[in-house]
A and B are shown apart, each in its own frame.
Chain A
Amino acid sequence: MAFINASSPHQRTYRSTTQIMLWVMACLIPGIAIQSYFFGFANLIQISIAVIVALLAEAIILKIRKRPIINTLKDGSALVTGILIAIAIPPLAPWWVAVIGTLFAIIFVKQLYGGLGQNIFNPAMAAYVLLLISFPVQMTTWLPMESLHPFSISFMDQLNAVFTGHTLDGYTVSQLTVSIDGLTMATPLDTVKNSLKAGLTTTEIFDSAIFNASSSQAILWVNIGFLIGGAVLLAKRIILWMIPISFLAGVTIFSFIAYAYQPDLNGSPMFHLFSGATMLGAFFILTDPVSAATTVKGRIIFGLLIAFLMVLIRNVGGYPDAIAFAVLLGNMCVPLIDYYTQPKVYGGRA
């Protein structure tokens, strides 16, 4: 009679990387669907471009590094990276934007550090920062939401715009960003930033025509879509609650402090929670198991730190949205956070 002496836990669910990545992709669907509904199917075109490039780049690098190709591709991490990059890119950005971003994410940020599990930085966000810094014009021309378009844009128009820069009727993408009121479209965060510079207060901005043309409603719904997907991930225990909850709590607290201090110059907590990429970041980007902190306390600190940086950059910095910068800065602090938050072994010395 032999008893197997194994320590607890005795019941475990085992999930492979592939399963986790599939769940992540499935939970991205509501957000992507809402984003495509408001901003056009070009979003899906961008996703296909990014996914194809991501898989190709990963395969080529694995070939060079003499690693198993099919098995590694199967884990789906490159797919998720590609999709996240494509979501962050404006739908009608030229095709090479997605290609350059994905190549950079897979080759430089992920594989040069040693592949999945070794990268210090979140590949999707590093790629986003690269694109935003290199191509500020292409990366900030978001279309007005579809109901505000002066011309209807068909799927073929969008396909054409992505690959040639013109719709079938010959409109350029920058012409398309002018909404039905003749106001040039920008994202809500952009609008707030520019109007504050022009000397308006937040109350005036939120009432203004420009802000209403800036598809703030659409962005709100997109955020809700990602929130729903994120809630499913939480319920399925694909991600743990520490990072999203501490991050969202942090965003609320820090933006409330700024709002309470100068309500005319800073957006309200609600505005910060439901604009830009807050929800996408909270559930899908910060929780990247590779580049986030790993201890319980560490995760809470990590979430709060990124929330603080994000509110700070959004309110004071030069760029409108700050998730990507905040995440990269947070990633840099992860080794330090993990070092100082290691749990004590029971019975061990402090």
Chain B
Amino acid sequence: MTSETAQAPQDSDQNNEQNNAPIEDKKAIYRELTWQGLWKNNPGIVQLLGLCPLLAVTNTVTNALGLAIATLFVLVGSNTLVSLIRHHVPKAIRIPIFVMIIASLVTCVQLLMNAFTYELYLSLGIFIPLIVTNCIIIGRAEAFASKNNVKHAAFDGLMMGVGFSGVLLALGAIREILAQGTLFDGVETLLGDWASGLTITLYHTDTSFLLAALPPGAFIVMGLIIAFKNAIDHRLDNKK
């Protein structure tokens, strides 16, 4: 598959050309960004970026959802800010500046989660501050946001974030079902007490399938999801 470094500059070049063209088709750009973020260049299963949090916190859907929302927020925020200041940043020191913007946003998220979803904050632990080092965020800032206008950058951040969240949630759901037979266990720590009814118990077991909750299970399920995605692509190619 295409790698981040190979794909992203091409994207932005294409988009720049499209921007320069006299507003040929605005919708096409957004459609392309959506397609890239959600499927073709999905940060989770195609670019394989941000694997550390992806594999570490997806033992339940709730944890996955918490991290997904946090990452999504940071990604949209950083893309917007980086795009806003893109003409004022000297090339030589752009990376430190991007990192500072991202770090500030992550600090905001961390404080917010500490204040409003304390239990989830505890269960995600080190992986909230680690969003700073998530390659997806710095990657999109460098490859896309620093070269495109604010609207496109924010939309790209949103789509990349949603794509990443989709993978997080799928992984979290599969692992939680395998390990505990439930879905949305502990969701009240994220959404408040009203949500405690959302927990779905699919089956009850005395002996949980521990492997699915452990890191090796994350790698195996992740591999299966990637294989599934490739199989679909393959089938679509064959049809053409």
Interface residues of A (CB under 8 A from B): 100, 108, 130, 133-138
Besides A133-B210, A133-B216, A134-B211, 12 new A-B residue pairs in contact (Cβ under 8 A), listed by A number: A100-B209, A108-B220, A130-B211, A133-B211, A133-B214, A134-B209, A134-B212, A135-B207, A135-B209, A135-B210, A136-B210, A138-B207
Residues of B within 8 A of A130 (CB): 211
CB distance from B59 to the nearest CB of A (A): 14
Residues of B within 8 A of A108 (CB): 220
Q: Is the CB of A134 within 8 A of B210?
A: yes
- State A118–B50 Cα separation when bound (angstroms): 30
Which label, helix, strand, loop or mixed, suits the secondary structure of the B interface? helix
CB distance from A296 to the nearest CB of B (A): 33
- State A16–B172 Cα separation when bound (angstroms): 46
CB distance from B218 to the nearest CB of A (A): 13
CB distance from A336 to the nearest CB of B (A): 21
CB distance from B223 to the nearest CB of A (A): 8
Q: How many residues of B contact A (CB 8 A)?
A: 8
Residues of A within 8 A of B209 (CB): 100, 134-135
Which of chain B's residues has its CB closest to A136's CB?
B210
- State A136–B209 Cα separation when bound (angstroms): 10
Residue of A108, A134, A135 contacting most chain B CB atoms (<10 Å):
A134
Interface residues of B (CB under 8 A from A): 207, 209-212, 214, 216, 220
Closest 5 CB pairs of A and B: A134-B211, A134-B210, A134-B209, A133-B211, A130-B211
CB distance from B139 to the nearest CB of A (A): 30
- State A46–B155 Cα separation when bound (angstroms): 56
- State A133–B208 Cα separation when bound (angstroms): 11
Q: List 17 A-B contacts (CB under 8 A).
A: A100-B209, A108-B220, A130-B211, A133-B210, A133-B211, A133-B214, A133-B216, A134-B209, A134-B210, A134-B211, A134-B212, A135-B207, A135-B209, A135-B210, A136-B210, A137-B207, A138-B207
Residues of A within 8 A of B214 (CB): 133
Residues of A within 8 A of B220 (CB): 108
Residues of A within 8 A of B216 (CB): 133
CB distance from A341 to the nearest CB of B (A): 29
Residues of B within 8 A of A134 (CB): 209-212
Residues of A within 8 A of B211 (CB): 130, 133-134
Which of chain A's residues has its CB closest to B178's CB?
A134
Which of chain B's residues has its CB closest to A138's CB?
B207
- State A58–B157 Cα separation when bound (angstroms): 44
- State A137–B210 Cα separation when bound (angstroms): 11
- State A130–B216 Cα separation when bound (angstroms): 9
Which of chain A's residues has its CB closest to B223's CB?
A112
Which of chain B's residues has its CB closest to A97's CB?
B207
CB distance from B184 to the nearest CB of A (A): 23
- State A98–B216 Cα separation when bound (angstroms): 20
- State A135–B220 Cα separation when bound (angstroms): 18
Which of chain A's residues has its CB closest to B179's CB?
A134
Residues of A within 8 A of B212 (CB): 134
CB distance from B19 to the nearest CB of A (A): 44
Residue of B209, B210, B211, B216 contacting most chain A CB atoms (<10 Å):
B211
Residues of B within 8 A of A135 (CB): 207, 209-210
Residues of B within 8 A of A138 (CB): 207
Residues of A within 8 A of B210 (CB): 133-136
CB distance from B106 to the nearest CB of A (A): 33
Which of chain A's residues has its CB closest to B209's CB?
A134
Residues of A within 8 A of B207 (CB): 135, 137-138
- State A133–B220 Cα separation when bound (angstroms): 15
Which of chain A's residues has its CB closest to B217's CB?
A134
Which of chain A's residues has its CB closest to B213's CB?
A134
Which of chain B's residues has its CB closest to A94's CB?
B207
Residues of B within 8 A of A137 (CB): 207
